[in-house]
Amino acid sequence: MNLTCALCGHGCDSVPHLSFQCKYSHKFWSSIKGMFYMDQTGDDMHQNNNIKSVMSKIGTAACVYNVWHERNMRLFQDKYIDEITLIKMVKEEIKWKLLSLNVKKSDAVIQT
> What's the mean pLDDT in 49-76?
89
Average pLDDT of the chain to the nearest whole number = 84
For the CA atoms of the chain, what is the radius of gyration?
Answer: 16
CA distance 96 to 19: 25
User: What is the per-residue pLDDT for 22?
Assistant: 93
Backbone angles phi, psi at 12, to 5 degrees: -85, 140
Higher-confidence position of 61 and 106: 61
Domain ranges of the chain: 25-111
- Give the C-alpha separation, 85 to 48, whole Å: 32
Kindly indicate the confidence band of residue 57, based on its pLDDT and cuts at 50, 70 and 90.
Answer: confident
Q: Are 24 and 11 in contact (CB under 8 A)?
A: no
Residue 95: is its pLDDT beyond 80?
A: yes
pTM: 0.78
